Structure 1
Amino acid sequence: MFVTTKFGKLNEFKKGLFEARAVALVLKKQFSQKDVNLDEFFKFYSDSGYHEDRYKPLSGRDYDRFLSTRAARRQPSLTREITSMAYKVGKQMISLAEGMPNEKVFPFTRLEMHTPYDRLVLDGKELAGALQYVPSQGFPALLSELRKFQSEAHRPPPLPRDILVTNGGQHGIYQCVELLVEPGDAVLTTEFAYTGIHSVLRPLQPEIIGIPEDEDGMLPETLDAVLGERQRRGMKMPKMMYTIPTGSNPTGTVLPEDRRRQIYELACKYDFLIVEDDPYMFLNYTDRPIPSFLSLDTCGRVLRLDSVSKVVSAGLRGAWITAPKPLLERLELHTQAELLHPCTIAQVILLQLVQCRQSFATHLSGAREFYRRRRDALHAALTPLQQLAPFYMPHAGLFFWLQISGVDDVHRMVFQTALQRGLMLVPGQAFQFDIHAPCPYLRLTFSKIRLEDMDIAVKTLGEIIRYEQQETLQKQKRIATEG
């Protein structure tokens, strides 16, 4: 259920206003002959549904205990409220209120974009609207479409939720941390986590509780044991978990349904919120629909981050947050203060993409097969190195995660040996909160490397690993001799 409410004294007045004006899109649909089954492709829920349990859903002031002091102090911007009203009243009122530029001064007359399936043309009033300020929550027509999309794809339990458009997935991460985390708080992540969450968290000097993974992702039993021990010892409990459940960056794991259900149950048991960052949801190579945390959220504990950066365009910065209504209202206040709203033209393009479900699914299916072939090619090239650098086949996403045998720290290997031999790598330190701690892991990305370069890259990698192993042995011998 998606319900929108606002702060302040304008609420009652706004309830009677008309729905948002939509920008008209001129579409020329040219669907591929290989149409995708939409019911199966956009399916991120379980046919067995969600299960009511003994935990009470959160509502209203229940969320106050999760808010950071910064978030709790934010107040609505009345001028932003007026902008939202302007999109609802249309031309029914004469306005001396809006601090918007006049569209007649915009120097653009036409925007036209093509995909293999559609054509987007904006001119006249439609283009003027796409170049104008919009409400901080997002372009109204896009919000309506995303609400529909999330309801169809995830079938979340019927709790008050809504959507906020963000300026990319990283912006959503930043928003959630600002909303929930105080300096010194405990935060749950996987043992190795996306570097973007660490970048946001470091200034707050939190305590990172990193939960180990196996080839199927985070271990719920370990999570339960760690939190149970902290609770028994009276230690500070985390309010937030950050996770990439499908195609974890950097490990490539996919949390299976039973683990997601266990982790959600632990969120209720230990009273924390789950930030579900899912940019690789369409790059799941298991061919099994896996329920999202949002689809399991009977108690209002999930803030879901969606992004099209990996499968449509990174530069479009197309992304959105789906969250319980009380939290989303606070997130919108942050947007009001930080950037007013994400780029309107980018939102109009995103609307066109999501509206055309069949062409959208056809493109996404093609993107998944494109990356699957590249994953398989790199896997074939890496297989002879399995003893030198053990790894699991990634089930989703864009990355292989290798543990380098006999090398305790890959930092020199990456920044000296590999670079000298013309190979760029990412050290595991990038995914640790403490980037200076030793780490034996490498992350390899198969998204952009040319297929014909994979074998030579892996051959060079093997040579580098053997060289580093030999250097490590020599160092150990010197230390033993000196000792």
Structure 2
Amino acid sequence: MYYGRFLTAVSRARSSAFLNSLLDIQQRAVPGSLIALSTGMPNTSCFPLSYAHLYTRKGKKLDLSPVWMNQGLQYTSSQGHPEMVEWGKELQRRKHNPPTDYLSHEGKMDLCVTAGSQEAMCKTMEMLVTAGDNVLIETPAYPGILSIAKPMGCNILEVETDEHGPKISSLRRILSNWSPADSSNMCSDIPRVFYTTSSGSNPTGVTTSLERKQQVYQIAREYDFLILEDDPYYYIQFTETPVPSYLSMDVDGRVIRFDSFSKILSAGMRIGFATGPQPLIEKLVYHMQVCTLHANTLSQMICLRILQDWGQEGFDAHTKRVTEFYRKRRDIIVESCDTWLKDYAEWTVPDSGMFLWMKLLGVQDTADLVMQKALDAGVLFAPGKAFTANDATPSPYIRASYSQAPEQDIDKGIQRLAALLKEELKLTASV
């Protein structure tokens, strides 16, 4: 893999800030072995906090000792607190076992802790995409990636999806405008990036099947493009065994994977991480150095305190409980739809995540229905056009989220939607 051709001119020009390298040396030194007179880090004795007590929902007390608190209130490496980075690498090896070993210093893979996966995606897109570039993005798409890509002035090529993930026929049809040989030409406009949500897609709830992932990966090898694997719902898959990730099959080093703790630990702590080829993660770290500097250190220390208390088995047990929580809610909303909407809508039962994607029958565009009539009726959904690159295109779809509403209200909300659709069909028939 020659990564230079994927990088923007700005990203190629980025290099390590020298003072940041001094900070990394200081952080990795054995305590007491180094007199640090180099960096401009503030003295923690001037900070007003010294320790904290955390209590789990089960009442267990977790202490942040003065040593931990001092680390949490201090600058850290732009790549992330060293212990958090190592914990993330071990998690990736345990869950995905990438073909390229990134745990060794000679490995081809690396990891950077970010302020949630959204920051990782934004900085990665800025690293790889510039105005005029052709970019492959699955549709319907997570609105966050559209908010990143559209202002960049790139050409969004929408890859259609079905209940198994990105449609190979759609991907092939788009790429038929180029020859695989064009990928070796630095001046070619062949797409170099494909963004996809791997599990529990927002908005469709679809997890891409293993067979479909293998097909997409082979096409990526054929046309030499990178796969941006956004996977915040990996730990909320309702199948007995999680579908293997793109990272798990990445023999070339062409996958950049985005993980997030937002759905399983805390959304507000803003902890996520990007895993991918070392040369690209290095450029991401350089971007962190001149922007946010690093993800919130105190959040990283709190996460570490929880994760170390749990251990690997505790982490797996927690994510299993989270999965069962959302599985129950998925079942509630699907049962409600079976009861009230079978004559008014079509949907695929989600196999992961927090969302149900529905096509409303007899409705050309759901925007007015959602933002006016449904809102007046006391229920709120997301209109389908919010998940397409061209939000002026009419969409008969809506996204329902079953994550927040009280269980007893989910059925009420679906009943209200059914009543509205019944009335809409009456009006249409009368016209």
So what's the TM-score if we normalise by structure 2? 0.92
Map of 1:73 onto structure 2 = 13
Q: Which amino acid aligns with 2:45?
A: K
State the alpha-carbon separation in 2 of the partners of residues 389 and 452 from structure 1.
21
Map of 1:162 onto structure 2 = 110
Quickly say closer, same or farther: Cα 1:404–1:338, change in 2 above 3 A: same
In the alignment, which of 71, 74, 88 is matched to residue 28 of structure 2?
88
Residue 73 of structure 1 and its aligned partner are, at CA, apart by: 2.2
SS at match of 1:390: strand
In the alignment, which of 406, 410, 414 is matched to residue 370 of structure 2?
414
Cα deviation digits, residues 379-428 of structure 1 (max 9, x gap): 00001312311001001110000011111111110111111111111101
Q: Does 1:364 align with 2:319?
A: yes
Map of 1:47 onto structure 2 = none
Residue 347 of structure 1 and its aligned partner are, at CA, apart by: 0.7
Q: Which amino acid aligns with 1:219?
A: K
Map of 1:455 onto structure 2 = 411
Residue 313 of structure 1 and its aligned partner are, at CA, apart by: 1.0
State the alpha-carbon separation in 1 of the partners of residues 405 and 159 from structure 2.
31
State the alpha-carbon separation in 2 of the partners of residues 322 and 118 from structure 1.
32
Quickly say closer, same or farther: Cα 1:282–1:117, change in 2 above 3 A: farther
Contact 2:234–2:242 (Cα < 8 Å) also in 1: no
Map of 1:343 onto structure 2 = 296
Contact 1:309–1:315 (Cα < 8 Å) also in 2: yes
Q: Which amino acid aligns with 2:319?
A: L
Q: Which amino acid aligns with 2:25?
A: M
Cα deviation digits, residues 296-354 of structure 1 (max 9, x gap): 00000000111111122111112101010000110001100111111111111222343
Map of 2:146 onto structure 1 = 198
Contact 2:205–2:357 (Cα < 8 Å) also in 1: yes
State the alpha-carbon separation in 2 of the partners of residues 467 and 237 from structure 1.
48
State the alpha-carbon separation in 1 of the partners of residues 181 and 67 from structure 2.
63
State the alpha-carbon separation in 1 of the partners of residues 368 and 287 from structure 2.
41
Greater shift in the superposed pair: 373-382 or 349-358: 349-358
State the alpha-carbon separation in 2 of the partners of residues 312 and 397 from structure 1.
15
State the alpha-carbon separation in 1 of the partners of residues 348 and 277 from structure 2.
36
State the alpha-carbon separation in 2 of the partners of residues 204 and 393 from structure 1.
34
Contact 1:112–1:119 (Cα < 8 Å) also in 2: yes
Map of 1:176 onto structure 2 = 124
SS at match of 2:336: helix
Q: Which amino acid aligns with 2:365?
A: D
Residue 100 of structure 1 and its aligned partner are, at CA, apart by: 0.7
SS at match of 2:111: strand
Residue 164 of structure 1 and its aligned partner are, at CA, apart by: 0.2
4+ runs of 1 displaced by more than 6 Å?
A: 232-235
State the alpha-carbon separation in 1 of the partners of residues 330 and 244 from structure 2.
23
Contact 1:117–1:359 (Cα < 8 Å) also in 2: no
Residue 118 of structure 1 and its aligned partner are, at CA, apart by: 5.6
Residue 173 of structure 1 and its aligned partner are, at CA, apart by: 1.0
Contact 1:407–1:472 (Cα < 8 Å) also in 2: no
The unaligned stretches of length 5 or more in structure 1 are: 1-57, 478-483
Map of 1:442 onto structure 2 = 398
Residue 470 of structure 1 and its aligned partner are, at CA, apart by: 4.0
Contact 1:353–1:360 (Cα < 8 Å) also in 2: no
Q: Which amino acid aligns with 2:48?
A: P
Residue 78 of structure 1 and its aligned partner are, at CA, apart by: 1.5
Q: Does 1:429 align with 2:405?
A: no
Matches within 5 A, 1:395-414: 395-414=351-370
SS at match of 1:338: coil
In the alignment, which of 214, 220, 225 is matched to residue 162 of structure 2?
214
Map of 1:187 onto structure 2 = 135
Contact 2:71–2:301 (Cα < 8 Å) also in 1: no
Residue 217 of structure 1 and its aligned partner are, at CA, apart by: 1.6
Q: Does 1:127 align with 2:73?
A: no
State the alpha-carbon separation in 2 of the partners of residues 448 and 273 from structure 1.
34
State the alpha-carbon separation in 1 of the partners of residues 37 and 9 from structure 2.
36
Q: Does 1:307 align with 2:255?
A: no
Map of 1:11 onto structure 2 = none
Residue 267 of structure 1 and its aligned partner are, at CA, apart by: 0.6
Q: Which amino acid aligns with 2:3?
A: Y
Residue 117 of structure 1 and its aligned partner are, at CA, apart by: 8.3
Residue 158 of structure 1 and its aligned partner are, at CA, apart by: 2.2
Contact 1:409–1:440 (Cα < 8 Å) also in 2: yes
State the alpha-carbon separation in 2 of the partners of residues 421 and 145 from structure 1.
47
Q: Does 1:330 align with 2:286?
A: no
Residue 170 of structure 1 and its aligned partner are, at CA, apart by: 0.7
SS at match of 1:333: helix
Map of 2:230 onto structure 1 = 277
The unaligned stretches of length 5 or more in structure 2 are: 102-107, 183-187
Q: Which amino acid aligns with 2:71?
A: G
So what's the TM-score if we normalise by structure 1? 0.83
Matches within 5 A, 1:104-143: 104-115=45-56, 116=58, 119-143=61-85
Cα deviation digits, residues 222-258 of structure 1 (max 9, x gap): 3123212444998832111111111011001111111
Map of 1:148 onto structure 2 = 90
SS at match of 1:212: strand
Quickly say closer, same or farther: Cα 1:412–1:105, change in 2 above 3 A: same
Matches within 5 A, 1:374-385: 374-384=329-339, 385=341
Question: RMSD between aligned alpha carbons?
Answer: 1.8
State the alpha-carbon separation in 1 of the partners of residues 92 and 307 from structure 2.
11
Q: Which amino acid aligns with 1:141?
A: E
Matches within 5 A, 1:247-326: 247-326=200-279
